[in-house]
Chains A and B, each alone.
Chain A
Amino acid sequence: MTNTSLTLNEINELKETALKMRKTAIKMATKAGEAHLGPALDLTEIIVTLYSKIMNYRASDPKWPKRDRLILSKGHGCLALYTILAEKGFYEKELLDTFCTQLDTLFGGHPEVKVPGIEANTGSLGHGFNIGIGMAKAAQIDNFDYKVYTILGDGENQEGSIWEGAMAAPNLNIDNLIAIVDRNHLQVSGRTEKIMNIDPLKNKWESFGWAVQEIDGHDFSQIYNALNSAPFKPGKPSLIIANTIKAKGLSFAENKVEWHHKVPNEEEYRIADKELGLGGLNDD
């Protein structure tokens, strides 16, 4: 039993939002015929919790200087971000129809700062996390108390720049930075253990000076409690290892390497529709 500070009602609401986001993401990906769907689906619970319960922001004033910031360092998971930002009113939901279907769309395969609520251009791995360190440092300089959240892929942990940042953040004494590793054990060509093992991940980050917690990345209570208690140790940046299942929620795709960059075909859409109640591709 985890000792939760979310009520059952709240959890049910979050679950509802998560389901809605998953359905929208699956439809968007299917319509576009091309997307990183698996890498977005596994972020759903984390992103819903951040934007519904944790982060301070003003959807109508996305550049409000004191806002909390989220940087999706694994930018290819952007469907999760596009859908929650629409849900929270950063822009009209109808705009999502242009996702990878309209030339020069706001919503391409990787997030760009021209989208309200997107804080950095990511897509090239090993940048966003480090940009987040700069933003967290700026809060310190400006005496603002905003927090910076950043989500990394576990494969992304293989980039050297991540470890340059891992070393820098504790040295800069920033504790308003919370990094979340999406630990799904998969990357493009296989399992992280096989391609380039990153374990023991917790020890690595701890030895660089971070306070680390490990959670189930699909359990709202655990996600909320971890995020809500950050910084875990005053003066230290916090790292959450979120154990996730890639493509979570799309039963036949879960934990399968090929679903890194795959979208449902007709038959698969039909199965997903049965399981999740998607309705027609163009229904709302």
Chain B
Amino acid sequence: MMTKEKLDLKSDIATRVVLGKAITDLGLKNEKICTVAADSESRFGDFVKKAPNRAVNVGIAEQNAVSISAGLAFCGKIVFVSTYATFISMRACEQIRTDVAFQNLNVKVVGTNSGFSPGWEGFTHQALEDIGIMRAIPNMTIIVPADGEETYNLVHQLADYEGAVYLRVRGKKDDPHIKNKGKTIIGKAEELKSGEDITIIACGRMVYEAVKAADILSEKNISTKVLNMHTIKPIDKEAIVTAAEETMGIITMEEHNTIGGLGTAVAEILCEKGIGIPFKKIGVNDRFGIPGKTHDIFRHFGLTSENAVKTAEEILG
């Protein structure tokens, strides 16, 4: 199993695989950690086997899983509750809002297999609405790690991060490693590249596409600032305002509906600050997903570095 081998966090290791390793490492050190599964428990790695007394499996019952997590958290536990992002964010939505978020309990809701990572499983399993839904709930901190390494570090930070969190990870493959990343600080955008012409603000798997786009653009003498906005809420307003001041346009990129997610969050800040700047959202334009290979679906919906390059060139005219 995976904890026996050491994971190379600097490699293209999938976020859902890292999740299990991170929770196991963390949970064996911190006695307060509990996990709650809704059938599939492989996402918790070896923790379930090594600390069976702190691992609950309620079966295929997402609503029950979240309410039970709230009960555990009321009694001082730090709870990681996890299943597919679609099912946990939608089936158990009211439980997250009323049982967890209202009193800002220490429940870390982990939606896995998000975005298009379920590929052929189709729209029932592809979560494109979860960020928007979670953003509308007060107290929720929303975090979308860009790669395996960031997932590992963020899970560890969550143990000391008070309150309700939605952590969005992907599946068991297709999470390329982002090189030269610095330390991830919750609530603080990470500048991966500095630039003067255009800014791409991305989250999750799209950070990789943004970095790639910046490299292509630099060959065309366009200098691109790339922000990894791993924390969607509370969002780093300052970083957005600075980007608007330093560059001539902003593009957002997310593996999510363009309504309600990262793009919307950035647009809200720009509008409220009265900043008029060319602005484009790359994401899924209010559509349901389709079955396919993840990369083909990305191309179909324009979630690619090529589309980011094209969009940047259009903005800069």
Contacts and interface: CB of A to CB of B under 8 A. Distances in A.
Interface stretch (B55-63, B128-136, B230-238, B271-279): B55-63
A82 B24 CA distance: 40
Interface string A26-61: 000000101000000000000000000000000000
A89 to B, nearest CB: 24
Nearest to B37: A189
B195 interface: no
Given A104-B290, A187-B39, A123 B121 contact: yes
Contacts of A6: none
Nearest to A192: B59
A108 B118 CA distance: 11
A143 B290 CA distance: 37
A156 interface: yes
A189 to B, nearest CB: 5
Given A32-B120, A160-B61, A195 B39 contact: yes
A146 B59 CA distance: 34
B40 interface: yes
Contacts of A188: 39-40
A103 B60 contact: no
B64 A112 contact: no
A159 B300 contact: no
A95 interface: no
Nearest to B57: A195
A160 B59 CA distance: 11
A187 B59 contact: yes
Interface in B120-174: 120-125
Given A155-B59, A187-B39, A110 B300 contact: no
Nearest to A194: B57
Interface string B44-67: 000000000000011111011000
Contacts, number: 86
Interface residues of B, number: 30
Among B61, B87, B122, max chain A CB count under 10 A is at B122
B248 interface: no
A221 interface: no
A104 B42 CA distance: 29
Nearest to B41: A189
B293 interface: yes
Contact of A103 (B59, B123, B297): B297
A199 B157 CA distance: 41
Contacts of B290: 103-104, 108
A105 interface: yes
Interface string A114-149: 000000011111100000000000000000000000
A189 B39 contact: yes
A207 to B, nearest CB: 19
A100 B63 CA distance: 30
A267 B64 CA distance: 42
Contacts of A109: 118, 120-122, 125, 291
Contacts of A102: 292
10 contacts: A103-B300, A108-B290, A109-B120, A110-B122, A158-B61, A160-B61, A187-B59, A189-B37, A192-B59, A196-B57
Interface of B: 37, 39-42, 57-61, 63-64, 86-87, 91, 118-125, 290-293, 296-297, 300
Interface of A: 32, 34, 75, 100, 102-105, 108-110, 112, 121-126, 155-156, 158-160, 187-189, 192, 195-196
